[in-house]
Amino acid sequence: MLSIKFQVYHGGDIYEMILTTTSTDPTVEDLQQQIEKQFIIPIKNQRIIFKGQDLHENQQEKLRRYGITNACAIRVIGRKELK
């Protein structure tokens, strides 16, 4: 099992998030699913930015391709799902 810790910037606040996955090479989609679960932002509403790169456009891309490692900071733009 692999765990990657992130700092997530969303709505002017900073949060800690841990992506835990059974995959040894997680994808952007794995990250999106964790964001959806923790922040209640549907995948379709997410825009994820890391070092100026839009990650959400390539769901099957591996996080390592972007240089994402433990303790990275990502920015999430998107509206939470209203219930």
pLDDT digits (tens, 9 = 90+) for 13-58: 999 999 999 988 999 999 999 999 999 999 999 999 999 999 999 9
In a domain, 38, yes or no: yes
In a domain, 42, yes or no: yes
Euclidean distance between CA atoms 31 and 15, whole angstroms: 14
In a domain, 44, yes or no: yes
User: What residue numbers bound the domain in which 35 lies?
Assistant: 2-77
Euclidean distance between CA atoms 23 and 52, whole angstroms: 26
Q: In angstroms, how far is CA 62 from the centroid of its own chain?
A: 12
Number of domains in the chain: 1
Mean pLDDT of 51-72: 94
What's the whole-model pTM score? 0.90
What CATH number should be reported for the domain holding residue 29? 3.10.20.90
In a domain, 56, yes or no: yes
In a domain, 82, yes or no: no
In a domain, 11, yes or no: yes
In a domain, 83, yes or no: no
